[in-house]
């Protein structure tokens, strides 16, 4: 069995998508449709920068999605591949869950771009800059991370945001609490804590205003049943019902991204092949979670051509 998986924020880089667009009309069509949907020159920003603008959450989220969907469309159109024929499940890390839904045709591309633009804006606006923070805990499992959060919170918001793999967990919350957690990490048997260069504390209760904004937007969004089930971040279980998908997307804004559990559950269900499209981030996490799985990351035209021969 096979799953197509999609990266989250942090996988953006100036120059992304340029080689694909140069090589394939299918990719150019994706980037143009996203530009048209957003009314901005996002593709120019992706290819030329500046990096500071591309890194802004409201730009990074639709950009990462567009790059991944362009990769998929090239694979489909030039490789003669249909996702529904080659994938049993799809999943995406945080914003990548929207990419997965677009890939599985539950959301159309323009709607996905607009939802991610709004999601980025709403997440940024939810907490004033400087009041929230996130830190990656290296050499920590979820239990150690939770114990650290309990010890460092002192009445402030501090939660597990991303359970990425057996050795990496991300925490999120009030800046003072995250700073306390970083200083206490070694006492809790955690190798080290690395503050992340993010502009807001994602996937924690401080994001409640953003969750409310997404609930309103998703209520009005046309969303169909996906071609294949999507493993949801907040449940680490497959979902296919449109109403349930909308519910878990709202919950995801403040909830933990249970990526390690999602990969483990897919592997337990019989998935051995994991294809990451548009990045080289979540594939390595797969290998650390399920050592017997076979992840491949597909970014370049050469990657696409090599994958098409094996599917």
Catalytic residue annotation: 94, 203
In what order do the strands lie in the sheet containing 192-195? 158-165, 168-174, 132-138, 192-195
Going by C-beta distance under 8 Å and a sequence separation of 6 or more, which residues neighbour residue 10? 281
User: Quick one: which of 73, 69, 53, 65 has its CA closest to 95?
Assistant: 65
Contact 220, 246 (CB under 8 A): no
Greatest CA separation found in the chain? 56
Going by C-beta distance under 8 Å and a sequence separation of 6 or more, which residues neighbour residue 252? 94, 97, 203, 232, 233, 234
Question: 């937007």: which residue's tokens?
Answer: 217
Q: Token digits for 65?
A: 């999605």
Contact 94, 100 (CB under 8 A): no
Going by C-beta distance under 8 Å and a sequence separation of 6 or more, which residues neighbour residue 135? 170, 171, 178, 181, 182, 193, 194, 195, 196
Contact 34, 59 (CB under 8 A): no
């Amino acid at each position: 069995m096979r799953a197509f998986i999609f990266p989250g924020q942090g996988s953006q880089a100036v120059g992304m998508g340029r080689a694909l667009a140069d090589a394939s009309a299918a990719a150019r069509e994706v980037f143009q449709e996203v530009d048209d949907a957003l009314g901005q020159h996002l593709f120019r920003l992706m290819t030329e920068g500046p990096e500071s603008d591309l890194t802004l959450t409201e730009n990074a989220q639709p950009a990462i999605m567009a790059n991944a969907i362009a990769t998929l469309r090239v694979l489909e159109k030039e490789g003669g591949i249909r996702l529904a024929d080659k994938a049993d499940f799809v999943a995406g890390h945080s914003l990548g869950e929207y990419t997965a839904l677009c890939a599985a045709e539950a959301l159309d591309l323009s709607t996905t771009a607009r939802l991610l633009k709004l999601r980025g804006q709403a997440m940024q606006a939810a907490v004033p800059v400087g009041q929230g923070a996130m830190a990656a805990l290296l050499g920590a499992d979820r239990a150690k991370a939770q114990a650290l959060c309990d010890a460092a919170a002192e009445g402030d918001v501090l939660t597990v945001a991303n359970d990425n793999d057996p050795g990496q967990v991300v925490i999120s919350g009030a800046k003072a609490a995250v700073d306390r957690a970083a200083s206490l990490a070694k006492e809790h048997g955690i190798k080290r804590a690395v503050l992340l260069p993010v502009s807001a504390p994602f996937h924690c209760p401080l994001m409640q205003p953003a969750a409310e904004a997404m609930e309103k937007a998703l209520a009005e969004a046309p969303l169909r049943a996906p071609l294949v089930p999507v493993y949801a971040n907040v449940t680490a279980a497959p979902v296919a019902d449109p109403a349930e998908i909308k519910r878990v997307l709202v919950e995801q804004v403040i909830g933990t991204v249970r990526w390690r559990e999602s990969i483990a559950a897919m592997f337990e269900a019989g998935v051995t092949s994991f294809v990451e499209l548009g990045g080289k981030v979540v594939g390595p996490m797969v290998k650390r979670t399920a050592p017997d799985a076979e992840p491949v990351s597909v970014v370049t035209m050469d990657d696409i051509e090599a994958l098409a021969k094996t599917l």
